[in-house]
Structure 1
């Protein structure tokens, strides 16, 4: 399974939602920018034929309506009604003509944002795998309860992580392009001159891949810290039900063992410290991912 699309932070939300409804409109950044398309540019013959059919229907309907009105209505009323009917036909025809000359709204939005989103097709297998790992880590953080409840507000995940993911995707796309270029250049006879050029390039690419892998691992470590804090927060929420369990024991075992009740109290004391430590650890991990000032 390939990575999900990655959008630049400034891409409008409606374009992101459009991908869910009409993914076929989106064109990989590695492909040429789509051209403006209308019904006339896509299928001029069919559009012209449909327009002629519409005109024939309008004219024929107007003539038929004129005959019926002449037979059933007073002459003056029939004359005014025929003018109104003709006006409606002209307006409808003009609307159809304008619509067929306009670009579909979805296609227009996607065309304008081309290059500001990257699809699975923009990455080779190695880059796609790393990007997918980064996306899972970011999703874990953004969907965590400690994030949604504002316990990690200092890290500004909603701003930092989309920027991080977009920068990560752009580097991975460039690595994909350079790997393909190296394979193309190296195809055929190997020579000392060729190796003298490709050797340093391969080493530079490998260093870049290692750096990106480390960045992905940092994202995953942050996600692990957030997941751990989330677990502690859920445990704290579950601890709120302790009074109900104590009451249950009191009703069923009036003289029962009190060690369970004491255990609840001890756990409550420990859990508060655990939650604080885990949230602090998550914040520290998140701050290491903060983007530099631009």
Structure 2
């Protein structure tokens, strides 16, 4: 596992509206409560309160007529408004966040939703994606084979949901399959074990593809930095040529100047090759995503 990212982070469905995503991202406690099955209390009055108020209004109608019932209704409304206004705003906000988390409980994956093996895979995938999106070559638009800002978060979301599904299935499998299976019938469970292993290997291959893409991008970044530095030197080549001509004979200076130009062309060739390799790694990633 990447030591920079020992544990994975929350994963949100990238298709969520921005305001909902912001609420979920800033409400870790609400997300955990929603996952634990906590249901937010209704905002309105409870059933007992409604029955009591209805009884009082009916009683006022019988004793004082419509006018008395109207006055009592106004009083009840004012008192209820004062109660709401006096309520703790932090509690109201907490209920609102919990309600959003419950309504979108299938649109996020928590680290706690995964077993240790799946958490490691997700952490590796997130680390690789962060490297790509933080790279200079991606920021400069040089990796134009895929739209990383859209494709990579979608790939992480697909991985996270499949890892969560694998975790649930594996936990259920361990509950169902007895630990003390007699040796002569243990083989009947083998096909089910193989399905779980195959699913894990498939997801691990997708993570490896992401990491390979990130490695190619990091290499392209290093060459890109050298390429840009070379560009600065190219602008100053006449100064170097002048210094060389002033210090050595012309017949020795010309080959040296040619060598400077050749080295510049070589760095440019390596840079273009590196970008092509990164693009091919991205295309391979896309082919896995489509599979």
TM-score normalised over the length of structure 2: 0.70
Q: Does 1:166 align with 2:157?
A: yes
C-alpha distance 121-196 of structure 1, shift in aligned 2 (>3 A): same
Q: Deviation string for 1:43-71 (max 9, x for gaps)? A: xxxxxxxxxxxxxxxxxxxxxxxxxxxxx
How many residue pairs were aligned?
245
Which runs of 5 or more structure 1 residues have no equivalent in the other structure?
42-88
Distance, in Å, in 1 between the alignment partners of 2:150 and 2:175 is: 39
Q: In the alignment, is residue 146 of structure 1 matched against residue 137 of structure 2?
A: yes
Query: Displacement of 1:239 after TM fit?
Result: 1.0
1:8 offset after TM fit, Å? 1.1
Report the counterpart of residue 292 of structure 1 in structure 2. Answer: 290
RMSD: 3.5
> Stretches of 4+ moved more than 6 A in 1?
38-41, 89-92, 98-101, 250-254
Query: C-alpha separation between the residues in 1 aligned to 2:241 and 2:80?
Result: 81
The offset of 1:13, in angstroms, is 3.1
The 1:292–1:211 alpha-carbon spacing in structure 2 relative to 1, beyond 3 Å, is: closer
Q: How does 1:13-92 map to 2 (within 5 A)?
A: 13-18=18-23, 21-27=26-32, 31-37=35-41
CA distance in 1, matches of 2:158, 2:185: 31
Shift of 1:112: 2.2
Cα distance in 1, alignment partners of residues 240 and 213 from structure 2:
41
Tell me which of 82, 99, 103 is aligned to 1:93.
82
**Residue of 6, 29, 51 corresponding to 2:11:** 6
Following the alignment from structure 1 to structure 2, what is the Cα–Cα distance between the partners of residues 251 and 34? 77
Q: Deviations over 1:180-239 (max 9, x none)?
A: 223323455323586344221111111111111111111111111111222221111111
5+ residue gaps, structure 2, are 1-5, 46-77
- What TM-score does the superposition give when structure 1 sets the normalisation length? 0.69
- Following superposition, the deviation at residue 146 of structure 1 comes to 1.5
What does the per-residue CA deviation read over 1:26-84, in whole Å, with 9 as the maximum and x for residues that have no partner?
2288x34442247899xxxxxxxxxxxxxxxxxxxxxxxxxxxxxxxxxxxxxxxxxxx
Quote the offset at 1:266 in angstroms. Answer: 2.1
Structure 1 residues 105-131: Cα deviation after superposition (integer angstroms, max 9, x where no partner): 433332222121111101111111111
Structure 1 residue 130 and structure 2 residue 121: aligned? yes
